[in-house]
Amino acid sequence: MNSTLPALVGAALERARGSGFAYSCDPEVGRLLAVLAAAVPEGGRVLEIGTGAGVGAAWLVSGLLPRTDVTLTTVEQDERTAEVAAGGDWPGFVEIRVGDALELLPGLGAYDLVFADAVAGKHVGLDLTVAALGPRGVLVVDDMTPAPGVVWEPEFARRQDGVRQALLADRRLVTVELAHGSGVILATAR
């Protein structure tokens, strides 16, 4: 385990490796998530779409701790993957929900910080994700740039471009694309 990583992140990475889950949050993006989570207001709400093995959630929690006045809801569609994430030693303010984000989002309410890291809520249902932002809520959309040496399939690249264009043109948001980690679009609701 890398000693420069928060303990929860290191443990989540170990669970990911042990389960064969290969799509965890990149450390540069994770550190950005921790910084943004630390700025969530008192009583704030954080949403992650695409729990995976829990690495992104661990980064978010590392920025929220030692606070307990917040909630982190993380949604994973795949039950087996959600079970891997649930194996973590999460603080009481973390809730792992299993289900389709597109079905769950309309009933979840507004959030101060949303991390969109799954097809649902990004390629499909992007409007639902944006609608989940509270006033001045912050949206982080991950994996917007192919990794070095990776060439995206044309259809996937087209979908990513559609997400990029939609977010950059959305008048409800102030948006920037960052060449950070795996490529991030960062937006704040007006």
CATH number at residue 119: 3.40.50.150
182 belongs to a structural domain: no
Residue 152 in domain? no
Separation CA 56–CA 111 (nearest Å): 16
What number is the average pLDDT over the span 53-64?
98
How confident is the model over 121-153, as pLDDT tens digits? 999 999 999 999 999 999 999 989 887 788 899
The answer to whether the pTM exceeds 0.85 is yes
Query: In sequence order, what E strands does 33-132 have?
Result: 45-49, 71-76, 94-98, 111-116
Which residue do the tokens 């490796």 mark? 17
Q: What is the average per-residue pLDDT within 173-187?
A: 93
Domain coverage including residue 15: 7-139
In terms of Cβ atoms closer than 10 Å to its own Cβ (0-12, 13-18, 19+), residue 43 is exposed
Q: How far apart are CA 65 and CA 121, in angstroms?
A: 26
Q: Say if 115 falls within a structural domain.
A: yes
Q: Is residue 161 part of a domain?
A: no
Is 86 contained in some domain? yes
Does a structural domain hold residue 119? yes
Residue with the bigger pLDDT between 82 and 1: it is 82
Q: Identify whether 169 is part of a domain.
A: no
pLDDT given for residue 1 in this prediction: 44
Res 36: pLDDT: 99
The number of folded domains in the chain is 1
Let me know if residue 163 belongs to a domain: no
What are the pLDDT digits (tens) for 97-124?
999 999 999 999 999 999 999 999 999 9
